[in-house]
Structure 1
Amino acid sequence: MEGFTCSRCNEFHDELPMCFGAEFPDYYFSVPPEERAARIEYSQDWCVVDEAYFFVRGRIEIPVIDSDEVFCWNVWTSLSEKSFLRSQDVWNDPARVNEPAYFGWLQTIVPGYPDTRSIKTREHTQALGTIPRVEVFEEDHPLTIEQREGITWQRVHELVETVLHG
């Protein structure tokens, strides 16, 4: 996307970012830094804390109205142990696209929305090499509504400015 003039800093940014994300699930930060190496296992796609809390990375896609573009949030969802283990069992299997969606709880604070931690999600496994798609379905939550109905370019700018400048 071409650049934009930011209403918060009044500077021209060369690019309009269309995807933001979290490196770790929020729960990761509840573990003191000096204990993380002993208590947390992770990759760019999954995270396990204390062998009891299971997280998978996914992507929330929000369509931009009157456009082919989507605005994305790379997020983490918590899954049950059973769902997590199943997702890992089929991770490298091309047939994983036939998996039913895994119920989860969002474990990422998404800027520009009221509290998003622990809202209901479904994690849809995609083709090999593609990050799972996360469907938010918390009734009446603005993120659920925007994922279903789409957002305007003005809203894209608001979200980008919120991420860039708080």
Structure 2
Amino acid sequence: MILLVCGSPRPQGQTSQALRLLEARFQQSGHLTQRVCVGTFDLPIYGLGNGGAAGVRAWRQAVDSASALAIGSPEYHGSFSAGLKNLLDHLDSALVAGKPAALVAASGSPRGGMATLAAMRHVLRSLHVPAIVEQLAVCPQDRDASSGRWSNELLMQADCVAAGLLRQAGHA
């Protein structure tokens, strides 16, 4: 199972839409997926007591059940969302070490997203999660405003990211 983790609180935001695009690629290849967002679990801020313990268990179980991860976040001030960081803080390397991850960043401009991808890569490295080389950075210019269709270039990049994650996870 491939777990798609959305670091955006907006279900119709760019991050969610980009992860849905990848999810469709995984499903077309016959793979099971599960999508979760920062608001899916009732998680306390990491380190502030054990409130929300059921949510922490559910989050950790979802990650434990996954063979691979696709993690996305909007770009907030040059990094990824605090909600995603809180999700990741509730994990430990014993749970996720060796599970490959594809990374997705959404920003407001064509030049954005790179710092977010780098920051996610850095945190995942500390958890011993191998982030694949292929990555996806999306912005509003990647979609046609009237039809909502992704550009052909972005669709090809999404195909590369999906194939890279499946290959790394041994699902290719």
Give the TM-score normalised by structure 2.
0.26
Larger Rg: 1
Q: Higher strand share goes to which structure?
A: 1
Q: Which has the higher contact order (CA 8 A, sep 6+)?
A: 2
Give the structure-1-normalised TM-score: 0.27
